[in-house]
């Protein structure tokens, strides 16, 4: 972990495991590092980079708007693969938020990813560790060798990601109401089972 922390603190980019897939990431407070990740992923600022944190108490490093229903939703599904759209702090790099100022964040259920964020004391970018047009990876041997050449550090020790699906992304429409932007590891059924009224974004 120390080598990854050193890289992150030096505006480096790294590959590390999350509970779903391997992630390509950086210190989310560094605009330079975020730009490096975006360049590798061929992403524009119109496609913001998602974030992970290492605990519910770190949510205030991402947003200062924390209504009761946000805390309730986070407490119901975190740590775990549910990414929630929140209003990003203005101090965060532009690469992290959309045109309306929203970014997606989750408390990762993977012990290494969570601890990495906690030790860094910052949110970490967590976009899938694959080059544009290539499949995401859940095992070390699935990581594209061309991607490995572009990063500063990697962590491939177990536990490995579970694979299959990425995190589910939701937007809160008010207390008890959600819009599903992308259905992933947390199914719509699981959201409904927790008492949420769910709408699905078309397209």
Q: What does the pLDDT look like over 107-157, one tens digit per residue?
A: 999 999 999 999 999 999 999 999 988 999 999 999 999 999 999 999 999
Mean pLDDT of 59-68: 94
pLDDT > 90 in the chain, percent: 91
Q: What is the mean pLDDT of the chain?
A: 95
CA distance 82 to 172: 12
Handedness of CA 168, 172, 173, 177 (dihedral sign): positive
Sign of CA dihedral 164, 19, 178, 98: negative
Q: How far is 113 from 147, CA to CA, in rounded Å?
A: 19
Tell me the pTM.
0.94
H/E segment holding residue 84: strand 82-87
């Amino acid at each position: 972990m120390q080598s990854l922390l050193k890289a992150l603190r030096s505006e480096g980019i790294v590959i590390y495991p999350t509970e779903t897939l391997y992630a390509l990431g950086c210190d989310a407070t560094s605009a330079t590092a975020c730009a490096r990740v975006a360049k590798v992923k061929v992403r524009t600022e119109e496609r913001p980079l998602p974030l992970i944190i290492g605990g519910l108490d770190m949510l205030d490093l991402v947003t200062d708007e924390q209504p009761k229903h946000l805390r309730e939703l986070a407490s119901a599904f975190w740590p775990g693969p549910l990414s929630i759209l929140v209003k990003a702090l203005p101090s965060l790099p532009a690469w992290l938020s959309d045109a309306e100022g929203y970014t997606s964040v989750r408390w990762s259920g993977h012990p290494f990813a969570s601890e990495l964020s906690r030790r860094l004391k910052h949110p970490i970018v967590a976009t899938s560790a694959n080059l544009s047009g290539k499949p995401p990876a859940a095992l070390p041997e699935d990581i594209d060798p061309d991607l490995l050449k572009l990063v500063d550090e990697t962590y491939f020790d177990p536990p490995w990601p579970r694979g299959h699906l990425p995190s589910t992304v939701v937007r809160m429409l008010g207390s008890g109401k959600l819009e599903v932007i992308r259905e992933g590891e947390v199914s719509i059924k699981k959201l409904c089972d927790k008492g949420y009224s769910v709408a699905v974004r078309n397209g």
